[in-house]
Structure 1
């Protein structure tokens, strides 16, 4: 297993290849190789699995005229090698890579259809002047590409991931909004060649791209008839029998055995479901028989399971039943993903997937792969069985409609009766939802019409009434491609090779040649797999009806992660996106947390995932909060140190001090004193200008009311505020602006109502309207009081808990000012302390300034004039305090 990348259309550029290679180092930590010739360049990262000592890439043919970079495994390579040797070919390595290369030399592009395995490959054929890209029959291994040149100078970039294409700097990063719309609206992705990145596509399963290196023109086509073969085989309908079950068991067992071929340790993912359990018990049987290739397992089969104790998603008892059955031949590893870990891993998880995904479920797999990589290099998984053997409930309905369509009413009645428990459970769930009067959440209600109206003609549908055609469609378009993306990204993130034995080409062909009853019969899906493993599997798994799989308890996690989700949903970037209505999203999230709406967390996940994906791949990096990067003696960006105040004609110098983020737990007084002392200690080396400006002159300490209120416990998380209809309605009439949210949020409006009462708020609103007609400003706050003006709403442009909390005005600001002034005078050297003239608690933003409390001799008019231009940082500048020195 490896990672590949490359280009056509550029002269030898190893620096670009190195940049591409570095982005996929995780896919191949065991080796790196490059190749350039004419306008073609290849980069290769190797994860050594077979013929570890040899098989390095790029690999050259014996005449040096054909070059291959290859990501994958060809499990029938020994069979193909023997066939090639019979044709007179000789080999210098024992690798499957050389078999792939020589197969191409012998059969050309027809060779790809002979491979039974997984691959994404690139071949430079200098004899025929071709660059050939190809992807395996199921699309287990990815291969992305993008046209990067011009009509006069064509170019092509390709890679196992999207990151190496972006790393070239040759592409304009742009969102494919049509694909994004289909994901948000229909909850689908990976069904077509287009990706979420405009201009970047992927080869679909069984496709090849052939580029003429003399012209730069390329064509994409299928190298196989595999999907058509499955449709043709489906018409055979071999009757279900014991012989059919035995043959399927034999073929499936051989498919598993082939995927144990390795020179490095192999393990197995075990969810506790039917599919992964079938793989584990089949391997256990092969070990008991001492079958070929089982030496890769070592002394025992290592299994890896994600468990969620006390959660509805937990499958530990099923996994334990399999482990008990395999006792003596198995070593179990159990992983317990936690919401705190998910929160910590969230950005890396999004970065790993490269494109949005439909739920947080694959994070459980991410965790499993991380742990597995500490013990093994290859991991077998159960992916693909659901899509070929009707593992999901909607397949039942397709089968029932098929029987109705063909007039098989007697058979339909029997099947419905046999499936009654499944149908009843589904009906009960829907009826219960209606009886509890919980609103169902539709993504449509959250998306902006200006966005959705552009794609009103987009449609999504499934094959409604033909079981096998539905399965084939899902195998190559609707379902499996996304599952395989998770598998590839999660395994390769941790330099682990994932193998999927259910996706053995020959096994799948055999399955589709059987009657539909091999897939669904008597209300049981995956009928042939259940029967083929009966006696190997515990009965509680063979007869299991419910399906969970590797997933997370998302509904439970989102409640415990509400602070993180609010932080994202309230962020400035989320609010500014053109795709959704920020207020509607937050209101829906509140309804979900309060239990008023059905827990459709997949809707929130899609929004969350999209936002984090946009930040990761498109947004410019934000300035990080913290004390680094700004001296105490320079102004904030676009601000000045000095200001002349009209009220007294004097000039004042303001030094904003950068601090750590303040929280409720911060001890205000020692924190304030530490920053004042830091300023004083730095003066001797600050420069002559600053020494002169601060010597022998009255000076003051100005503090933002935010940090005072916060450390007094006057900051309330939005989820603890029960918003009334009046608050939600009134807040809509308050204009939002970059300078502060104020009462423009329903939470801050609710606090204002609780502070002075709804009648007073309504009266102030009425007076404000009259005042505007009279040309007066600030009438509202004159009526309700400046304590209401000082209420700060949750705002994404702030830092720390301010992003998701609302703050009252501080208590006793005059008393706080006196207390801090006394401590400042006691803590500083005499020459500074004797000129200290007091503290002011300020509510300042770009719209205005209010003095909430002070102990200075200056008038409020002068104090407000000193801060007229709001020199302190209100956002990520984290400068909530200033030292102000009189200059004349």
Structure 2
């Protein structure tokens, strides 16, 4: 994968002048051009420039695609002729694509439906510039683009919206959309993919759903393994997502091809340790020569050096830990890294599935939930009240009760100013095709899919990986997987004490029982909490910066009080909202 760009304008000289300006900032490769449009790829990441640009191959014709899977020019050309705005549906896997439609004098730009790769666009003079990195566009502008306070408010609230760019003069292409650009600078967005709430699978047995899901997951994994791959590295913690991907990749790679597991070990946070599950996987799969990295020792204890942010986003961190992994993979001769990212979004389900089942007359679900509470150590009355009592109460009555108590429920952290809180709240209201009251499972899962923070990890790994010629792939983030998971009954995704029930049911013959049916969900709160405590002094100095306060977004006194309470308490966990505030302050100081 390399970074792509396009420049579109009515004036060819303006395009070439801007191209010359861009060449001052990056190593550029011009792939094709005509009177109104120039398309190419670039790299400004140090020693990797020549290597990356020489790896790029251009399909015949006016179609330039940057994809992780082999492309069929005939298929692309056929799709382009029929519906150029939706050409990304013709390519399997994450990709970025530019196509020029000569009869209509339009450039079409798109990428995979689930937005694993970003596309940004903006105007520079009379030229419309589209790029896979916002920083490329910003460097061409006569002055630094201004900050988008709505997007910043979302980050500070711990609710970043991937559809919002952090710069007012630069736009980001939302999930499932492509765009067309005319030489006159008219930009139109086209929705080419979305979840259809009417798409439901016919009722079937657990075994039928299991077989369908397993076959689909195998296809998703297989689409990221090339015939030329002699070695594929797969991240493998002890959780369901990464172990499932590793197990299936290991089955697909028969000798002399091989799969090597890459596992993270935690020496300072016992609650994050999954070494027993990892060892069970080694034995079950017969994995040899695994890669193990201790990620919370030595240099990995310095928060500031561990999380340098990218210009495009506070959540895109170019961590030296990722560089270390890529260097190991590169030294082993690998060019492919698989991850379990997306497993939560596709397989977790939602607790409101129990509520839906009760509404449909399945009264046995109450006993099922109470039993699950005992198995997981959760408070039965609190869970029952949340799932079975509160949903029965009309919203107007709940609002009246809140008013009598003198408060309004809010997920917005106290350190946001009222203005920033309103911006974040309004920006979180996305168009949702599911009814919140009648279809709470679909509603909640759709909201999560559109706003998931997992994209931060996806982009971080990809931005580091492409510097080493490594394709970082996430098989769960596949539109086929998303469509399937929204089409099955909620009971298939979460049942009894088991979220990801369908994934567990599908993988029970492929994973050790101790991994597949483990009810303990490992979280990394203690790891991050201890890391924050160990770096309390520099982080407090970081949070004392007044730039966000001067923008009217943060009350510094409240933020610092919350930080002092977190690091001064007896516990070691730190609320995720505080981590978002730290990363946003880190980003604002690093790049602005």
Q: TM-score, normalised by structure 2?
A: 0.80
Greater Cα offset, 155-164 or 398-407? 398-407
Q: Work out whether residues 568 and 574 of structure 1, in 8 Å CA contact, stay in contact via their aligned partners in 2.
A: no
SS of the residue corresponding to residue 188 of structure 1 reads coil
Please tell me whether residue 287 in structure 1 is matched to residue 253 in structure 2: yes
Q: Which residue of 1 aligns with 2:195?
A: 227
Q: 1:275 aligns with which of 225, 238, 241?
A: 241
CA distance in 1 between partners of 2:113 and 2:582 (Å)? 33
Q: Which residue of 1 aligns with 2:588?
A: 614
CA 1:405–1:373 in 2, change beyond 3 Å: closer, same or farther?
Answer: farther
Q: Which residue of 1 aligns with 2:219?
A: 254
CA distance in 2 between partners of 1:518 and 1:572 (Å)? 49
Q: Which residue of 1 aligns with 2:295?
A: 337
CA distance in 2 between partners of 1:524 and 1:513 (Å)? 19
Deviation at 1:301, TM superposition (A): 1.4
Q: How does 1:42-121 map to 2 (within 5 A)?
A: 42-45=39-42, 56-57=57-58, 59-61=59-61, 67-74=62-69, 77=71, 84=74, 100=76, 103-105=79-81, 108-121=84-97
- Map Cα deviations across residues 598-629 of structure 1 (whole Å, 9 max, x no partner): 843433322222222112332xxxxxxxxxxx
Q: How does 1:596-607 map to 2 (within 5 A)?
A: 599-607=573-581
Q: Work out whether residues 17 and 42 of structure 1, in 8 Å CA contact, stay in contact via their aligned partners in 2.
A: no
Structure of greater relative contact order (alpha carbons < 8 Å, 6+ residues apart): 2
CA 1:549–1:426 in 2, change beyond 3 Å: closer, same or farther?
Answer: farther
CA distance in 2 between partners of 1:18 and 1:475 (Å)? 40
CA 1:180–1:428 in 2, change beyond 3 Å: closer, same or farther?
Answer: same
Deviation at 1:379, TM superposition (A): 0.7
Q: Work out whether residues 309 and 318 of structure 2, in 8 Å CA contact, stay in contact via their aligned partners in 1.
A: no
Q: Work out whether residues 20 and 43 of structure 1, in 8 Å CA contact, stay in contact via their aligned partners in 2.
A: no
CA 1:526–1:181 in 2, change beyond 3 Å: closer, same or farther?
Answer: same
CA 1:170–1:249 in 2, change beyond 3 Å: closer, same or farther?
Answer: same
CA distance in 1 between partners of 2:571 and 2:279 (Å)? 36
Q: Which residue of 2 aligns with 1:400?
A: 354
Deviation at 1:166, TM superposition (A): 0.9
Q: Work out whether residues 236 and 243 of structure 2, in 8 Å CA contact, stay in contact via their aligned partners in 1.
A: yes
Please tell me whether residue 516 in structure 1 is matched to residue 490 in structure 2: yes
Q: Work out whether residues 248 and 532 of structure 1, in 8 Å CA contact, stay in contact via their aligned partners in 2.
A: yes
Q: Which residue of 1 aligns with 2:136?
A: 164
CA 1:384–1:372 in 2, change beyond 3 Å: closer, same or farther?
Answer: same
Q: Which residue of 2 aligns with 1:263?
A: 228
Please tell me whether residue 178 in structure 1 is matched to residue 150 in structure 2: yes
Please tell me whether residue 142 in structure 1 is matched to residue 113 in structure 2: no
- Map Cα deviations across residues 109-152 of structure 1 (whole Å, 9 max, x no partner): 45432333222211223343111011212112211112344xxx
Q: Which residue of 2 aligns with 1:199?
A: 169
Q: 2:364 aligns with which of 403, 407, 410?
A: 410
SS of the residue corresponding to residue 185 of structure 2 reads coil
CA distance in 2 between partners of 1:267 and 1:342 (Å)? 22
Q: Which residue of 2 aligns with 1:474?
A: 448
CA 1:399–1:197 in 2, change beyond 3 Å: closer, same or farther?
Answer: same
Q: Work out whether residues 361 and 551 of structure 1, in 8 Å CA contact, stay in contact via their aligned partners in 2.
A: no
Q: Which residue of 2 aligns with 1:447?
A: 416
RMSD of equivalent CA atoms: 3.8
Q: Which residue of 2 aligns with 1:189?
A: 160
Deviation at 1:34, TM superposition (A): 4.3
Q: Which residue of 1 aligns with 2:100?
A: 124
SS of the residue corresponding to residue 417 of structure 1 reads helix
Q: Which residue of 1 aligns with 2:397?
A: none
SS of the residue corresponding to residue 545 of structure 1 reads coil
**Which runs of no fewer than 5 residues in structure 1 stay unpaired?**
26-30, 62-66, 85-98, 430-440, 619-888
Deviation at 1:473, TM superposition (A): 3.5
Whose radius of gyration is greater, 1 or 2?
A: 1
Q: Which residue of 1 aligns with 2:5?
A: 5
SS of the residue corresponding to residue 195 of structure 2 reads helix
CA distance in 2 between partners of 1:455 and 1:107 (Å)? 36
SS of the residue corresponding to residue 548 of structure 1 reads coil
Q: Which residue of 2 aligns with 1:354?
A: 312
Deviation at 1:456, TM superposition (A): 7.1
Q: 1:41 aligns with which of 15, 22, 38?
A: 38
**Which runs of no fewer than 5 residues in structure 2 stay unpaired?**
384-409
SS of the residue corresponding to residue 356 of structure 1 reads strand
Q: How does 1:448-847 map to 2 (within 5 A)?
A: 448-449=417-418, 451-452=420-421, 463=436, 465-478=439-452, 481-482=455-456, 484-492=458-466, 494-548=468-522, 553-571=527-545, 578-595=552-569, 599-618=573-592
CA 1:369–1:588 in 2, change beyond 3 Å: closer, same or farther?
Answer: same
- Map Cα deviations across residues 227-259 of structure 1 (whole Å, 9 max, x no partner): 12xx2223x343233233233222322322221
- Map Cα deviations across residues 288-331 of structure 1 (whole Å, 9 max, x no partner): 5x6xxxx6xx4x3122122112412222222222122223x432
Q: Which residue of 1 aligns with 2:392?
A: none
Q: Which residue of 2 aligns with 1:302?
A: 260
Q: Work out whether residues 145 and 158 of structure 1, in 8 Å CA contact, stay in contact via their aligned partners in 2.
A: yes
Deviation at 1:221, TM superposition (A): 1.2
- Map Cα deviations across residues 576-600 of structure 1 (whole Å, 9 max, x no partner): 6643233333333333222178843
Aligned length: 549
CA distance in 1 between partners of 2:480 and 2:517 (Å)? 27
CA distance in 2 between partners of 1:515 and 1:333 (Å)? 38
CA distance in 1 between partners of 2:510 and 2:25 (Å)? 43
CA 1:597–1:553 in 2, change beyond 3 Å: closer, same or farther?
Answer: closer
CA 1:23–1:318 in 2, change beyond 3 Å: closer, same or farther?
Answer: farther
